[in-house]
Amino acid sequence: MRTKIVRGPVVDSNTGQGRSTRYVRMAQGLFPKPIKLGPRSVGWLESEVEAINAARAAGKSDDEIRALVLKLEAARKTLA
């Protein structure tokens, strides 16, 4: 798994959605939560963003994407 961290504008560009939609999807469990980079900055793992995009392109249901998000966030613990 790549560990490149991308910031909000790159995420928005890669997903085709805006900031508010990203945060709504996070609240619904349909997008991974951000990684805290500092007191006022966050980012997302590029590999997680790509995995969500691939799931959407494959026509996965919201329930399947929620399960994927949980799996991706759990995998973060094994990165270190």
Parse the chain into domains and list their residue ranges.
5-78
Query: What is this structure's pTM?
Result: 0.91
Mean pLDDT (the chain) is 95
Determine the average pLDDT of the residues in 54-69. Answer: 98
What sign does the dihedral 53-54-58-63 (CA atoms) show? Answer: negative
Q: How confident is the model at residue 79 (pLDDT cuts 50, 70, 90)?
A: confident
d(CA 64, CA 74): 15
Kindly report the CATH number that applies to the domain delimited by 5-78: 1.10.1660
Which token pair is 25? 């999807």
CB burial of residue 44 (10 Å; 0-12, 13-18, 19+): buried
